[in-house]
Amino acid sequence: MLPANHGSATLDRFKEWGVRMKFSKYMLMLLALLAIGMIAAACSGDEDDDDGAASVAASDTLKTVLGRGNVIVGVKDSQPGFGNLQPDGTFAGQDVEYAHALAAALFGDKSKVEFVVASASTRFELLSAAEIDVLIRTTTWTSSRDIDLSSSFTATTFYDGQGIIVDASSAVQSITDLEGATICVTSGTTTEINLASRLAAAGVNHTALTLAGDAEILEAFAAGRCEAWTGDKGNLAGQRSSYPVEDGGPESLRVLPETLSKEPLGPVVRDGDTDWYDVVQWVVFGTMAADELGVNSGNVATMSSAPPSKDIANLLGVSFEGGEPTNFGASLGLSPTFMQAVIGQVGNYDEIYERTIAPIGLARAGSLNASWLDGGLIYSPPIK
Amino acid sequence: MNVADTQVTRIERSTIDRARKWARANLVNGTANTVLTLVSVTLAAYLIYTLTRFVFVGADWEVVDVNRRLIFLGRYPKEEQWRIWPPMWMVMGLGGLSYGMLSRGSLRDLAWLGAAVVFILAFLATTTNGLLFGGGVLVSIAAYGLGRLSIGRPLLRSKLRLVTIVGWFLVIPFAIILITGFGGVKPALWGGLLLNVLLAAIGIGVGLPLGILLALSRASSLPLLKGFATSIIEITRGGPLIAWLFIARFVLPAFIPDAFETDPIVNSMIVVSLFTGAYVAEIVRGGLQAVDRGQVEAADALGLGTFNVTVFIVLPQAIRAVIPALVSQMIALWKDTTLFAFLGFTDALSGGQAAYNQAAFKGSQIEVLVFVALLFWAVAFGMSRLSQRFERVLGIGVR
């Protein structure tokens, strides 16, 4: 068989190849076009390289943001009091208010914000890839994040600390009573490490039950799988204040007095971006200064037209008793009166706090987040 | 009358008899099977009881009710909501038309359809959305009627088929143009179930043809083309989707010149299309191999060109053979769209998660997750049913 058909089979194969070739010519052309396109793209990429690299590495976020006409902020979508999506698709919380404050400072319009939902695991990637201009997402300022992750932490907007919450009817009054207890904790966070080291230091044996998130922890706690759970006190207060009535309501839970860790939370920007860093930092400080000076959204208009003190005039960028106004705004590259927009549209630190964090059950008075005048840590450097 | 009555009773009796006989033969034949039956019936009854109790008594659906917007549209601005309705009506009309044309008019279809409509209407009843949706239902029913009418009318049928095919091709571009264009909503704000639907639709719409092209290229005898297709398929399939999405979101923008820089969601759509394309390519390649080589040779002998052979002889048979696997891939893609939440978009699932984290709705994650799961199931089930209907119309598995 084979020898007899050998010649025609080869011919067939040859013909087939010829037919294919005709069809494939178009394919080849397509491929060639693709290749040319790719080379062109690569070349234009090369041309842009110096520009592109410079714009990412150096300090031009401020210019980029002003040119773009809005500020892109990474926030959280699921933490009441700090950043939480509302039923109508808008965000609410302290972090969100500071995003609006930034927009008011930059554009005189607090609505010029684009929010990106930043998860715990993608937030620093979003920041370093310049997908967001600033990260305001309950992010704890730590040395490793500040140094290794090429990010810079601006002013702290909320001093949090890790706490432990237990059933109010239990005998546990402090962490030393937790001997042998099972404690629920979120996986992969600093809280897990803090819990272990603090309880070990106190000589308390415990079992950690590691779970994926707050909702799972609540579920496990309600089911009796753990006697206590740990998290940042800001978060615990939120969880407590909204604890389901069917399960006993807020009264059925007690936060232990000990604070296991320091968790300063605030906006984060990329390293080496000093102009932008200054803007973010001084908008935050501005709201704190306004709180100290008694300037709020209700009286900012009258105080701007007739500032009662030199400090208030400096803050609001107006002249005091005929003197020269400071160049606070202008030196930041913003409008001289940017703080008027911030306070008028968003409010001072206290107003923001009362609107967002107080409702979740964390009173400001007596906490670390009280003004330094009342013994807290909220302190603005002088504006002059 | 009398005769009819007796007939009915006879049918009824025979049905009952048959059921009894079946039960005796299958459920209570022997001790072991009787025990098994009892155990399963108890278990099923318990499950149904707890589920019903949860749905009607235990669950508090307020969290879903209040957060409907968040689950369906995410952060999509309310004042631009009108842009969604025309494409939605188009989908409903086309759906009705296609279903009518493919349907054999069984009562079961109508029951399913009726149940779906009642469910959705009850859900939207209090709002203007209910009225808008009701209008869409009317369009859908009219189109269904038209589709049914075309059965046995070849001229009308061929015209309607053209309308349907062109319509389905146009609906996604139409939706995207209407939503984005004319001062519309930018992709970053697309959200909720709308985002899942758009992502899946684009993944399927682009991925399917791309996959077929890749499969043909891989089967080609041209080394360059073959190598190109093979490397695209193998590289894409070699990584998990989440990794590719991560690259599209965080790595790619660094390499793309600013002038070509696209929205992150567009990047992700490209990635998801490529990813689907790679999988589809391998499925279709399986189908290509199932087509008898003799047919190609016969067609070659008749002097048909490679293009004609491929498009009119090989591909239709190849794709027919792999429809179940393709649909499976589409359903997988549909569920994979929830991965986009990881990139900072608010899809139906992450919208729901944000909802049960709201201060007012602590502890209601089960309600939200059940509801979102139901939404995903409904679409996946619909896809599966539609493909089965399609297979039946094509006569697959019959011959």
How many domains, chain B?
A: 3
Superfamily of domain A162-261: Periplasmic binding protein-like II (3.40.190.10)
Chain A residues with beta carbon closer than 8 angstroms to that of B305: 19, 22-23
Burial of B370 (0-12, 13-18, 19+ CB in 10 A): middle
Stretch A103-111: mean pLDDT:
95
Q: What is the mean pLDDT of chain B?
A: 82
- Whole-number pLDDT of residue A13: 54
Contact B357 A78 (CB under 8 A): yes
Last residue of a domain, one of B151, B184, B217: B184
Last residue of a domain, one of B129, B163, B184: B184
**Which has more confidence, A260 or B125?**
A260
- The verdict on B376 and B280 lying in the same domain is yes
- The verdict on B221 and B133 lying in the same domain is no
CATH architecture designation of domain A63-158+265-374: 3-Layer(aba) Sandwich (3.40)
Q: What is the mean pLDDT of chain A?
A: 83
User: Which residues touch A215 (CB under 8 Å, ≥6 apart)?
Assistant: B353, B356, B357, B363, B365
Of A91, A96, A186, the closest CA to residue A137 belongs to: A96
pLDDT of A28 > 70? The answer is: no
Read off the pLDDT band of A287 (50, 70, 90): very high
Nearest-neighbour CA in chain A from B232: distance (Å): 13
Contact A218 B255 (CB under 8 A): no
- The verdict on B226 and B243 lying in the same domain is yes
- The verdict on B319 and B179 lying in the same domain is no
Q: Give me the residues of B, 186-205, that contact A with CB < 8 A.
A: 188, 191
User: Which residues touch B387 (CB under 8 Å, ≥6 apart)?
Assistant: B323, B324, B327
Among B243-252, B313-322, B385-394, which stretch is predicted with the lowest mean pLDDT?
Answer: B385-394
CA B281 to each of CA A34, B59, B78, B268: distance values in angstroms, whole numbers, following the listed order: 20, 44, 40, 20
Does residue A131 belong to the interface with chain B, where contact is any CB pair within 8 Å?
yes
Counting residues of chain B whose pLDDT is more than 90, the rounded percentage is: 16
Read off the pLDDT band of A67 (50, 70, 90): very high
Among A180-189, A222-231, B224-233, which stretch is predicted with the lowest mean pLDDT?
Answer: A180-189
Distance CA A319, CA A325 (A): 4
Read off the pLDDT band of B5 (50, 70, 90): low
Token pair belonging to A310 = 């030199």
DSSP character at residue A264? E
Distance CA A183, CA A168 (A): 15
For chain A, the domains span 63-158+265-374, 162-261
pLDDT in tens, B135-162: 778 888 888 878 777 777 777 777 878 8
Chain B residues with beta carbon closer than 8 angstroms to that of A71: none
pLDDT in tens, A327-367: 889 899 999 999 999 999 999 999 999 999 988 878 888 88
Contact B75 A116 (CB under 8 A): no
- Whole-number pLDDT of residue A55: 40
How many Cβ atoms sit within 10 Å of the Cβ of residue B25? 10
Q: Give me the residues of B, 3-22, that contact A with CB < 8 A.
A: none
Does residue A67 belong to the interface with chain B, where contact is any CB pair within 8 Å?
no
DSSP A1-37: -HHHHHHHHHHHHHHHHHHHHHHHHHHHHHHHHHHHH
Domain that holds residue B87: 79-184
How many Cβ atoms sit within 10 Å of the Cβ of residue A95? 29
- The verdict on B322 and B302 lying in the same domain is yes
pLDDT of A222 > 90? The answer is: no
Contact A87 B345 (CB under 8 A): no
- The verdict on B52 and B63 lying in the same domain is no
Does residue A215 belong to the interface with chain B, where contact is any CB pair within 8 Å?
yes
Burial of B391 (0-12, 13-18, 19+ CB in 10 A): middle
Which of A66-70, B245-249, B391-395 is most confident? A66-70
Q: Report the CATH number that the domain containing residue B379 is assigned in CATH.
A: 1.10.3720.10
- The verdict on B66 and B215 lying in the same domain is yes
Among B101-105, B130-134, B236-240, which stretch is predicted with the lowest mean pLDDT?
Answer: B101-105
pLDDT in tens, B326-340: 999 999 999 999 988
Which residue of chain B comes nearest to A356, CA vs CA? B359
What is the pTM (predicted TM-score) of this model? 0.79
User: Which residues touch A139 (CB under 8 Å, ≥6 apart)?
Assistant: A123, A145, A153, A265, A266, A268
- The verdict on B97 and B229 lying in the same domain is no
- The verdict on B39 and B172 lying in the same domain is no
Chain A residues with beta carbon closer than 8 angstroms to that of B74: 89
- Whole-number pLDDT of residue B234: 92
Chain A residues with beta carbon closer than 8 angstroms to that of B260: 41
- The verdict on B279 and B334 lying in the same domain is yes
- Whole-number pLDDT of residue B13: 67
Give the number of A-B residue pairs with CB atoms closer than 8 Å: 152
Chain B residues with beta carbon closer than 8 angstroms to that of A90: 75
pLDDT in tens, B161-219: 888 888 888 888 888 888 887 777 878 788 889 899 889 989 998 999 999 999 999 98
- Whole-number pLDDT of residue B278: 94
Distance CA B26, CA B44 (A): 17
Question: Best of B60, B68, B218, B222 to disrupt the A interface by mutation (most A CBs within 10 Å)?
Answer: B222
Which residues pair with residue B393 across a beta bridge?
A: none
pLDDT in tens, B48-103: 998 888 887 777 788 888 888 888 888 888 878 788 888 888 888 888 788 777 76
